[in-house]
């Protein structure tokens, strides 16, 4: 039987039982307005639902009764015993029909015209009180000309108060009203809690009885064990509902969509009886509707298109639900046009989600996943059905919120299938139980990527970069969070082994350091009280098998508290960044490595370095608090690279010389180590001054030094007007680069040369600045950038005549002839390799000069 | 004033109590006896294992498991800024229900339930410490000492947790 019908029957039976009582009470207290209103409402509800379920016979009777009751309620008609009788007769007829409905799922045939007629005469005005009319006599409605089915029961004559005899039913199945019951969910939750408690007590009893040999309790305890297990299952079941409950509205939805789109679609539903927790059921309702809409609107083609493609005109959407290893799988498939990966690729590139080159090599399956990105809709037109930009991303976020996953497969011309995997229940999750600082905690398994056991030997993989610890995990630096320190617990002694739980929160990965990892358990999540709710490091708490309460950690909350990945926040906003394969790839750079006595090596881009020198300690002079050395006929100011370094302690003293051609500065270091050239990913971090960020270089954590900081320390003149600066003064340069590192590096140098500098971290924001009317003489841009890359930026600037005078210089990590060609074709007048500082300055000067000449 | 003392009747004599009487569960925190209306109290427990909640406000001792329900334990000594109790001295949990949530007040000792007439409840003296005044609903003079009637709701109002 249809769920909707079953609900209707349950509800109506409850209502009718009350109606009997109320109508009889009304007879005794005819002036009770409230009672009348209540009776009216009940009948009204039944009538309303009948219309919805297309139960015409019921509707007719209920409507007539409602009309009479309406008059009574308004006071147009006074309550008289014969009015009541007529209403009761109608109620009985309704009951009879409902019983038939319950047995056969269909409204039994029959004629209610007599009942309706008796009611209708009240509408025309109260008939004279007819003494002969029996107070509760309603003529038995005669089945009309034998059309009524044999099993139709009709309202028994004179049976106002008497319900039809149930004993006459062909089968003695209890009615739905008897076999189902509405129970408040909080009662079920309490039951669940108490069963949990019982389970714990049973476990203790089993332990006790096993400890004693030949215990007399053994047999009864075993029986208790079985009963408890059954009870637990039964109670769990009370919270489960068939997934079909969420499907009720879908056939109608599809029908409406067909009407709106002129399509012909069949909806096939399988596995409606698959059960899952009611909470989950509510959560999937909206995503499911969305997916069906999508299939009907974008998936299935119009009948003509289908005919041309050699498919049947009528398309099919299949909805399938089944259990698979503790999860419920929901599939929405259609036999429509499928999703064209080429279109998605193009769209993704247009949206700046991925770079064209990366998209070209991306496997189709991965490309299809772009449909789950926000604002991604491939429908060329907007319909009133779907395709308003809210779409599959909402589906994905809703599903992920309840711990599920969503995936799509598609074949062009054959159709697509979206597959959703959701847990059976939200209340129970799989968690890792860990211990640290003498306490135990649970970490939801869903955020855990891997576990690393750190033994004595493995400890050398831990690197310390200005106060933060990192673990070298396969050539990436994994930021570490000491759980005991973060939670202000007693810290574990450092000699013992410990474990790192590698957690993933969005794009951020970090390692949670704990003393022990116990096991994985299925736990029941319980909310934490209001006094500690503000602590974002907890997701809830749970009760373990031994009755202990432990806290459930929230990986996202911990990441936020420990500020891991905080430096990446700016980048995380650029959705395309990771997709574009930037992650872990980094820029190709030459770096000079040196030692300053810090645990980590220091590095500086080689292109900034003028010379490496070693000065005899005796030649270093100290004057008014500054250290100087005679160098090429001038005094070179010296600055220690770390406050731990004493100048001239070493002999000879290694110094790295930086120069802009007029001013020079010497950075004093302990030892110059190496020069490396590699693709390097620099993690910017707000650490101590003088450090731009950290990177893994040759498998070691290395700090990248902010030369700008030391230049300022050494010479304030550096930033004062340089010769020729007058000519350059007022020239506005827009530097466009997605790497904050290079922006930081380039800006001070250019400023020092007299340019006015503005920065943008990608092509789109650069365009926005120009469109806002900001004026620039030169745009100095990187090529590889998310959203709008450097080539696109140049093309767009060149397309707009208003920006004709803007000079374009490309700065890039790669410079093969073909790439240079593409850069020049896009509109750049110069194509420079990044970090060749002198070349950049020379090019800028030439471009500005050239402009003056031309002017 | 003195006449009012007769309104204070021990539970044994509750039969004689008037309708306006309110029954209070009395308990000791440090040297002070406090009372909360008996209707707020769900039960009294001893010897419960309490799980610490790191980073929680100092008043919150942790969580305990009451037949599968999570109860937030609030140490009234900390809440009322009394000296911390010696480690070996046990506590008793007075479990109260507030807004459908269970809390346990950790106290040193639980005394009798006491019926108090409305007139016997005097307003808190103006000189009472501000932290006490905030949660004090009134004072009852007893034979040997004073009973401070406190509001459980106010006791659960912690500065840090809001």
What is the residue-wise DSSP string for A231-246? HHHHHHHHTEEEGGGG
Distance CA A622, CA A600 (A): 29
What residue spans of chain B are helical by DSSP H?
A: 76-79, 130-135, 152-155
- Inform me whether the pLDDT recorded for A224 exceeds 70: yes
Contacts of A530 (CB under 8 A, 6+ apart): B72, B99, B101, B161
Distance CA A719, CA A662 (A): 12
Per-residue DSSP letter, A298 = I
Distance CA A546, CA B135 (A): 37
For A681-772, strand residue ranges (E) read 683-684, 691-697, 700-705, 732-736, 756-760
CB–CB contact B67 A194 (8 Å): yes
For A534-648, strand residue ranges (E) read 538-543, 549-553, 587-595, 601-605, 611-615, 620-623, 626-631, 634-640
For the segment A363-378, the average pLDDT, to the nearest whole number, is 75
Q: Taking CA atoms, what residue in A is nearest to B159?
A: A531
Sign for the CA dihedral angle at A241, A244, A247, A252 comes to negative
Distance CA A396, CA A402 (A): 10
Distance CA A692, CA A605 (A): 11
For residue A193, list chain B residues with Cβ-Cβ distance below 8 A. 67-69
A796-844 per-position pLDDT tens digit: 888 888 888 888 888 876 556 677 778 888 888 887 766 566 677 778 8
CB–CB contact A533 B161 (8 Å): yes
Per-residue DSSP letter, A167 = G
Inter-residue contact A600 to A698 (CB < 8 Å): no
Of all residues in chain A, the percent with pLDDT exceeding 70 is 79
Confidence class for position A507, pLDDT limits 50, 70, 90? low
For the segment A301-313, the average pLDDT, to the nearest whole number, is 89
pLDDT at A411: 87
Distance CA A852, CA A729 (A): 13
- Inform me whether the pLDDT recorded for A232 exceeds 70: yes
Inter-residue contact A602 to A703 (CB < 8 Å): yes
pLDDT at A685: 56
- Inform me whether the pLDDT recorded for A155 exceeds 70: no
A546-602 per-position pLDDT tens digit: 778 999 998 888 888 887 754 333 333 333 333 333 333 445 566 788 888 887 888
B53 backbone dihedrals φ, ψ, rounded to 5°? -115, 100
pLDDT at A854: 41
Contact residues of A toward B, CB < 8 A:
193-194, 196-197, 439, 487-489, 526-535, 537-538, 541, 543, 547-551
A826 backbone dihedrals φ, ψ, rounded to 5°? -70, -15
CB–CB contact A197 B63 (8 Å): no
For the segment A719-745, the average pLDDT, to the nearest whole number, is 67
A476-496 per-position pLDDT tens digit: 778 899 999 889 887 766 657
Q: How many CB atoms lie within 10 A of CB B37?
A: 17
pTM score of the predicted model: 0.46
For residue A551, list chain B residues with Cβ-Cβ distance below 8 A. 51, 53-54, 63
B58 close to A (CB below 8 A): no
Sign for the CA dihedral angle at A768, A770, A773, A776 comes to positive
Closest residue by Cα to residue A767 from A236, A776, A487: A776
Q: How many CB atoms lie within 10 A of CB A643?
A: 10
Render the burial of A335-357: b for 16+ CB within 10 Å, e for the rest.
bbbbbbbeebbebbbebbbbbee
B43 close to A (CB below 8 A): no
The whole-angstrom distance between B115's CA and the closest CA on chain A is: 31
pLDDT < 50 regions, chain B? 1-17, 162
Residue A414, token pair as written in the block? 């054959």
Per-residue DSSP letter, B11 = G
The whole-angstrom distance between B66's CA and the closest CA on chain A is: 9
CB–CB contact A548 B53 (8 Å): no
Contacts of A559 (CB under 8 A, 6+ apart): A481, A503, A505, A508, A510, A565
Inter-residue contact A826 to A600 (CB < 8 Å): no
CB–CB contact A439 B158 (8 Å): no
Distance CA A537, CA A343 (A): 42
A86-131 per-position pLDDT tens digit: 888 888 888 888 888 888 878 888 888 888 888 888 887 766 554 4
**Which tops the pLDDT comparison, A141 or A668?**
A668
- Inform me whether the pLDDT recorded for A358 exceeds 70: yes
Residue A28, token pair as written in the block? 């005794």
The whole-angstrom distance between A479's CA and the closest CA on chain B is: 22
A650-709 per-position pLDDT tens digit: 888 888 887 765 667 889 998 888 777 666 666 655 556 777 777 777 777 788 887 777
What residue spans of A690-762 are helical by DSSP H?
A: 707-714, 725-728, 740-752
Residue of B47, B53, B156 to mutate when probing chain A, most A C-beta within 10 A: B53
Per-residue DSSP letter, A308 = H
Q: What is the mean pLDDT of chain A?
A: 76
For the segment A362-382, the average pLDDT, to the nearest whole number, is 69
A772-796 per-position pLDDT tens digit: 888 888 898 888 777 788 888 888 8
Residue A770, token pair as written in the block? 């120009």
B106 close to A (CB below 8 A): no
B48-75 per-position pLDDT tens digit: 889 999 999 999 999 998 877 889 999 9
The whole-angstrom distance between B7's CA and the closest CA on chain A is: 37
Distance CA A470, CA A478 (A): 5
For residue B73, list chain A residues with Cβ-Cβ distance below 8 A. none
Distance CA A761, CA A778 (A): 16
Q: Taking CA atoms, what residue in A is nearest to B100?
A: A529
Sign for the CA dihedral angle at A754, A759, A765, A769 comes to negative
CA torsion angle A471 A474 A478 A484 (round to 10) = -50
pLDDT at A630: 84
CB–CB contact A549 B63 (8 Å): yes
User: How many CA atoms, within 13 angstroms, populate the side-chain half-sphere of residue B32?
Assistant: 17
**Which tops the pLDDT comparison, B36 or A391?**
B36
Nearest by CB to A488, which of B51, B55, B64? B55
Chain-centre distance for alpha carbon A272: 27
CB–CB contact A535 B74 (8 Å): no
pLDDT at A332: 92
Per-residue DSSP letter, A110 = -
- Inform me whether the pLDDT recorded for A434 exceeds 90: yes
CB–CB contact A551 B53 (8 Å): yes
SS3 A447: helix
To the nearest 10 degrees (0 to 180), the angle between helices A3-28 and A81-104 is 160
CB–CB contact B51 A533 (8 Å): no
Strands A620-623 and A626-631: antiparallel
Q: How many CB atoms lie within 10 A of CB A383?
A: 14
Q: Could you tell me the CA-to-CA distances from A94 to A161, A194, A322, A821 in Å, in that order?
A: 14, 42, 38, 85
Nearest by CB to B54, which of A488, A526, A543? A488
pLDDT at B47: 80
Contacts of A557 (CB under 8 A, 6+ apart): A535, A536, A537, A538, A539
pLDDT at B34: 94
Nearest by CB to A549, which of B59, B64, B103? B64
Nearest by CB to B68, which of A194, A487, A551? A194
Residue of B58, B60, B63 to mutate when probing chain A, most A C-beta within 10 A: B63
pLDDT at A178: 64
SS3 A675: strand
Q: How many CB atoms lie within 10 A of CB A798?
A: 15
pLDDT at A850: 59
Q: Taking CA atoms, what residue in B is nearest to A531?
A: B161
Distance CA A61, CA A33 (A): 23
Q: Taking CA atoms, what residue in A is nearest to B160?
A: A531
CB–CB contact A535 B63 (8 Å): no
Indicate left, alpha or beta for A658 from its phi (over 0: left) and psi (-120 to 50: alpha): beta
Residue identified by tokens 């709710």 is A533
Residue of A189, A437, A529, A547 to mutate when probing chain B, most B C-beta within 10 A: A529
Nearest by CB to A531, which of B54, B57, B68? B57
Q: How many CB atoms lie within 10 A of CB A664?
A: 20
To the nearest 10 degrees (0 to 180), the angle between helices A56-74 and A81-104 is 150
CB–CB contact B54 A439 (8 Å): yes
Q: Taking CA atoms, what residue in A is nearest to B101?
A: A529
Inter-residue contact A514 to A483 (CB < 8 Å): yes
Nearest by CB to B68, which of A196, A529, A534? A196
What Rg, from alpha-carbon coordinates, does chain A have?
Answer: 39
Chain-centre distance for alpha carbon A587: 31
For A544-585, strand residue ranges (E) read 549-553
A131 backbone dihedrals φ, ψ, rounded to 5°? -65, -30
Residue identified by tokens 């890039």 is A812
What Rg, from alpha-carbon coordinates, does chain B have?
Answer: 16
- Inform me whether the pLDDT recorded for A336 exceeds 50: yes
User: How many CA atoms, within 13 angstroms, populate the side-chain half-sphere of residue A167?
Assistant: 1
For residue A528, list chain B residues with Cβ-Cβ distance below 8 A. 53, 63, 70, 72
Closest residue by Cα to residue A766 from A750, A744, A790: A790
Nearest by CB to A489, which of B54, B64, B156? B54
pLDDT at A110: 80
Nearest by CB to A532, which of B49, B60, B68? B60
- Inform me whether the pLDDT recorded for A424 exceeds 90: no
pLDDT at A114: 84
pLDDT at B75: 93
Count contacts between A and B (CB, < 8 Å): 78
């Amino acid at each position: 039987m249809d769920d909707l019908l079953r609900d209707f029957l349950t509800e109506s039976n409850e209502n009718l039982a009350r109606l009997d009582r109320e109508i009889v009470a009304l007879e005794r207290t005819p002036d009770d307005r409230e009672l009348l209103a209540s009776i009216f409402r009940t009948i009204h509800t039944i009538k309303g639902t009948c219309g919805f379920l297309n139960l015409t016979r019921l509707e007719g009777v209920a409507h007539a009764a409602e009309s009479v009751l309406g008059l009574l309620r308004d006071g147009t008609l006074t309550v008289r015993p014969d009015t009541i009788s007529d209403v009761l007769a109608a109620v009985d007829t309704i009951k009879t029909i409902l019983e038939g409905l319950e047995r056969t799922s269909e409204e039994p045939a029959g004629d209610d015209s007599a009942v309706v007629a008796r009611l209708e005469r009240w509408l025309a005005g109260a008939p004279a009180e007819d003494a002969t009319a029996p107070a509760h006599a309603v003529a038995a409605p005669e089945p009309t000309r034998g059309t009524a089915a044999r099993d139709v029961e009709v309202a028994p004559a004179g049976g106002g108060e008497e319900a039809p005899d149930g004993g006459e039913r062909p089968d003695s199945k209890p009615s739905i009203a008897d076999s189902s019951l509405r129970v408040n969910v909080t009662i079920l939750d309490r039951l669940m809690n108490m069963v949990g408690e019982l389970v714990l007590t049973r476990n203790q009893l089993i332990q006790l009885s096993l400890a004693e040999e030949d215990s007399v309790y053994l047999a009864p305890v075993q029986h208790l064990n079985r009963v408890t297990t059954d009870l637990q299952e039964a109670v769990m079941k009370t919270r489960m509902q068939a997934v079909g409950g969420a499907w009720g509205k879908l056939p109608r939805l599809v029908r409406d969509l067909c009407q709106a789109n002129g399509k012909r679609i069949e909806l096939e539903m399988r596995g409606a009886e698959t059960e899952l927790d009611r909470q989950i059921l509510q959560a999937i309702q909206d995503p499911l509707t969305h997916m069906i809409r999508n299939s009907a609107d974008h998936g299935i083609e119009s009948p003509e298109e289908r005919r041309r493609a050699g498919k049947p005109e009528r398309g099919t959407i299949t909805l399938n639900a089944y259990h698979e290893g503790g999860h419920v799988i929901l599939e929405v498939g259609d036999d429509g046009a499928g999703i064209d990966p080429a279109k998605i690729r193009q769209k993704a590139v247009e949206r700046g989600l991925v770079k064209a080159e990366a998209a070209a090599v991306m496997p189709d399956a991965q490309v299809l996943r772009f449909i789950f990105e926000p604002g991604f809709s491939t429908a060329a037109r907007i319909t009133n059905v779907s395709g308003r930009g809210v779409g599959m991303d909402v589906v994905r976020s809703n599903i992920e919120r309840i711990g599920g996953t969503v995936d799509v497969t598609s074949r062009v011309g054959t159709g697509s299938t979206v597959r959703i995997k959701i847990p059976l229940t939200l209340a129970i999750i799989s968690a890792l139980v860990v211990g640290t600082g003498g306490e135990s905690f649970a970490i939801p398994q869903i955020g855990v990527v891997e576990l690393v056991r750190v033994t004595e030997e493995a400890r050398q993989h831990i690197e310390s970069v200005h106060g933060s610890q990192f673990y070298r995990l396969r050539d990436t630096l994994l930021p570490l969070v000491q759980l005991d320190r973060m939670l202000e617990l007693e810290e574990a002694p450092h000699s013992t082994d410990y474990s790192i739980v590698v957690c993933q929160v969005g794009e951020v990965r970090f390692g949670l350091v704990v003393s022990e990892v116990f096991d994985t358990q299925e736990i029941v999540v319980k909310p934490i009280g209001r006094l500690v709710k503000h602590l974002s490091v907890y997701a809830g708490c749970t009760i373990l098998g031994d009755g202990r309460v432990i806290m459930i950690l929230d990986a996202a909350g911990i990441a936020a508290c420990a500020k891991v990945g905080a430096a990446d926040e700016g980048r995380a906003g650029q959705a395309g960044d990771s997709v574009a394969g930037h992650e872990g790839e980094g820029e190709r750079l030459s770096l000079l490595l040196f030692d300053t006595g810090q645990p980590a090596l220091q590095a500086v881009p080689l292109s900034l370095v003028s010379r490496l020198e070693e000065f005899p300690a005796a030649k270093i002079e100290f004057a008014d608090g500054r250290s100087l050395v005679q160098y090429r006929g001038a005094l070179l100011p010296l600055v220690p690279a770390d406050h731990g370094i004493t100048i001239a302690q070493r002999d000879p003293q290694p110094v790295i010389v930086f120069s802009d051609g007029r001013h020079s500065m010497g950075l004093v270091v302990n030892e110059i180590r190496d020069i490396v050239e590699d693709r390097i990913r620099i993690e910017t971090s707000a650490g101590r001054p003088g450090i731009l960020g950290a990177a893994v270089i040759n498998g070691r954590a290395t700090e990248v030094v902010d030369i700008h900081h030391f230049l300022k320390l050494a010479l304030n003149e550096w930033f004062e007007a340089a010769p020729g600066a007058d000519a350059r003064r007022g020239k506005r340069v827009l530097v466009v680069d997605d790497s904050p590192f290079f922006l930081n590096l380039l800006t001070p140098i250019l400023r020092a040369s007299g340019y006015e500098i503005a920065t943008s971290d990608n092509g789109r924001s650069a365009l926005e600045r120009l469109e806002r009317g900001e004026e620039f003489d030169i745009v100095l841009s990187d090529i590889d950038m998310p959203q709008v890359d450097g080539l696109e930026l140049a093309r767009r600037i060149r397309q707009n005549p208003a920006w004709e005078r803007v000079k374009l210089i490309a700065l890039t990590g790669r410079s093969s002839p073909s790439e240079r060609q593409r850069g020049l074709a896009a509109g750049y007048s110069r194509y420079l390799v990044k970090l060749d500082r002198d070349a950049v300055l020379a090019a800028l000067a030439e471009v500005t000069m050239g402009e003056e000449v031309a002017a | 004033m003195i006449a009012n003392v007769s309104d204070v009747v021990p539970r044994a004599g509750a039969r004689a109590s008037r309708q306006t009487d309110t029954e209070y569960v009395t308990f000791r925190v440090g040297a002070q006896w406090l009372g909360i209306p008996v209707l707020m109290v769900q039960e009294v427990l001893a010897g419960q294992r309490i799980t610490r909640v790191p980073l929680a406000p100092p008043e919150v001792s942790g969580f305990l498991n009451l037949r599968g329900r999570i109860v937030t334990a609030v140490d009234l000594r900390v809440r009322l800024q009394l000296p911390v109790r010696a480690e070996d001295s046990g506590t008793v949990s007075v479990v109260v229900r507030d807004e459908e949530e269970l809390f346990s007040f950790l106290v040193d000792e639980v005394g009798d339930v006491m019926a108090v007439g409305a007139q016997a409840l005097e307003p808190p003296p103006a000189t009472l410490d501000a932290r006490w005044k905030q949660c004090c609903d009134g004072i009852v003079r007893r034979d040997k000492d004073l009973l401070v009637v406190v509001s459980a709701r106010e006791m659960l109002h912690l500065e840090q947790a809001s």
